[in-house]
């Protein structure tokens, strides 16, 4: 199949970028989208041209490295799917796909389709951790967790930290990511010791990094490959309110 690509090329943060046209005329429907880019890059390199930079690692939807906006949708058109798991059979022969990086002030451009997502690491460092005893591993069942909370925590823990929620949000808000992390730990007894400080610090850090406010557009939930629900954001708000009333 023939696929026309318009790919965002940008040398670095300080150079202007633009969409560049490429055509792959022998794409295979069984290729993943990233394999299509590999295929294109191989050709570019053989021609002595510079390959397209893009992020990827596991290519099985679990690491959160891949980050492409296809025709205006973060991770492309398929619900609950990271772009590495999107296959070309989803497209028709002759389709044109516009490929852009995540765009947000808090995710500065590195090159082409690669942006710096370390803002997420700093949000995590601000409170996305728990206190555990070092030494011999504890028995896994030593702390009882009821099924409801275990399930909730597990759903929120599915976040792979990709940043699609920010990319798709008209406000560039990081609320879904931060909400998922806070909600996950708020449902577990292990999260209790830092509970109040966690939510206050993570919410602060989110603003500090330059992410926008949330307007409840819920576009984040629609593009999230882990299908994290915006109820995590509602939960974060409850947690924040309770934390401020309890903190001295």
For another protein, the closer of residues 26 and 146 by Cβ is 146
Rg over alpha carbons for the chain, rounded to the nearest Å, is 20
Decide: is 224 part of the binding site for ligand SF4 (CB under 6 A).
Answer: yes
Strand-strand pairing, 96-100 and 3-9: parallel
Q: Considering CB distances under 5 to 8 angstroms, the limit depending on partner class, which of ligand SF4, another protein, ligand FES, none binds residue 84?
A: ligand FES
Q: Considering CB distances under 5 to 8 angstroms, the limit depending on partner class, which of another protein, ligand FES, ligand SF4, none binds residue 165?
A: ligand SF4
Q: Considering CB distances under 5 to 8 angstroms, the limit depending on partner class, which of another protein, ligand FES, ligand SF4, none binds residue 110?
A: none
CA distance 51 to 62: 25
Interface with ligand SF4 by CB under 6 A: which range of 24-32, 33-41, 129-137, 160-168? Answer: 160-168
Q: Considering CB distances under 5 to 8 angstroms, the limit depending on partner class, which of ligand FES, ligand SF4, another protein, none binds residue 240?
A: another protein
Q: Are 2 and 23 in contact (CB under 8 A)?
A: yes
Q: Are 72 and 99 in contact (CB under 8 A)?
A: no
Decide: is 84 part of the binding site for ligand FES (CB under 6 A).
Answer: yes
Helix axes 175-186, 231-246, angle to 10 degrees: 70
Max Cα separation, the chain? 65
For ligand SF4, the closer of residues 91 and 177 by Cβ is 177
């Amino acid at each position: 199949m023939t696929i026309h690509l318009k790919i965002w090329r940008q040398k670095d943060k300080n150079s202007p970028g633009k969409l560049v046209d490429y055509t792959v005329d022998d794409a295979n429907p069984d290729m993943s989208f990233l394999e299509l880019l590999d295929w294109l890059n191989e050709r570019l390199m053989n021609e002595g041209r510079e390959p397209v930079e893009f992020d990827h690692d596991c290519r099985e939807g679990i690491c959160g490295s891949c980050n492409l906006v296809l025709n205006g949708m973060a991770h492309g058109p398929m619900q609950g799917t990271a772009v590495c798991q999107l296959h070309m059979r989803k497209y028709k022969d002759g389709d044109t796909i516009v490929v852009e990086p995540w765009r947000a002030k808090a995710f500065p451009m590195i090159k082409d389709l690669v942006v710096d997502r370390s803002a997420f690491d700093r949000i995590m460092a601000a409170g996305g951790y728990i206190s555990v005893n070092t030494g011999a591993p504890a028995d896994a069942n030593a702390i009882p967790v009821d099924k409801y909370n275990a399930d909730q925590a597990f759903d929120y823990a599915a976040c792979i930290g990709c940043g699609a929620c920010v990319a798709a949000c008209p406000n560039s808000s990081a609320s879904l990511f931060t909400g998922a992390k806070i909600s996950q730990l708020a449902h577990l007894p292990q999260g209790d010791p830092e509970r109040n400080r966690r939510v206050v610090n993570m919410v602060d850090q989110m603003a500090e990094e330059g992410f926008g406010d949330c307007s409840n557009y819920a576009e984040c939930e629609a593009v999230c490959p882990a299908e994290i629900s915006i109820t995590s954001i509602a939960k974060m708000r409850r947690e924040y309110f309770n934390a401020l009333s309890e903190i001295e």
